[in-house]
Structure 1
Amino acid sequence: MEWLVWAGAAVSLLGLAGLLYCVRVAMKAKKEGLSGEEMHARLKGVVALNMGALFVSAIGLMMVVMGIML
């Protein structure tokens, strides 16, 4: 099941890249000095992407664990 470990690692890295993108967008919004409502509107879309990236990363880690166990 070595292929499952490598596939899981790739999926985890994809999720990690998504999380890093979300951090970058949030830091950029903070640097711009937006007001409360503007900041809320900007980060509203990032929250969904953040949860999706976290889910993808968790699935990848599960795949790695399953590959190791099998």
Structure 2
Amino acid sequence: MQILIVIGAVVALAGIVGLIWCILMALKARKTSSNDEELRARLQRVVIVNMGALGLSALGLMLVVSGILLA
């Protein structure tokens, strides 16, 4: 079950990288947006990616926990 733990760790790490990318994109959008509508449109796209990255991270953590329990 060590392979399940390793795969889960990689998936969780990919989710965390996605979350960091979302933070950087939101900060960039705040600095470069000229009006509220443009900022809102950019942040809506970032929120979609953010939810996906959060789900990916949670899935990875579930894989790690299930690998530990099955070991």
Superposition TM-score tier, normalisation by shorter sequence: over 0.9
| Distance in 1 of aligned mates of 2:49 and 2:32 | 21
1:16-70 Cα shifts (integer Å, max 9, x gaps): 1111110000001112253211100111111111000000000000000000000
- The amino acid of 1:54's aligned partner reads L
Q: Which residue of structure 2 aligns with residue 17 of structure 1?
A: 17
Q: Which residue of structure 1 aligns with residue 6 of structure 2?
A: 6
| Distance in 1 of aligned mates of 2:34 and 2:27 | 11
Two-structure CA RMSD over aligned residues (Å): 0.9
* TM-score (normalised: structure 2): 0.93
For structure 2, the 5+ residue unaligned runs are: none
Q: Which residue of structure 2 aligns with residue 34 of structure 1?
A: 34
For structure 1, the 5+ residue unaligned runs are: none
Q: Which residue of structure 1 aligns with residue 44 of structure 2?
A: 44
| Distance in 1 of aligned mates of 2:33 and 2:67 | 46
| Distance in 2 of aligned mates of 1:34 and 1:60 | 38
Tell me which stretches of 4 or more aligned residues in structure 1 moved more than 3 Å: none
| Distance in 2 of aligned mates of 1:33 and 1:21 | 18
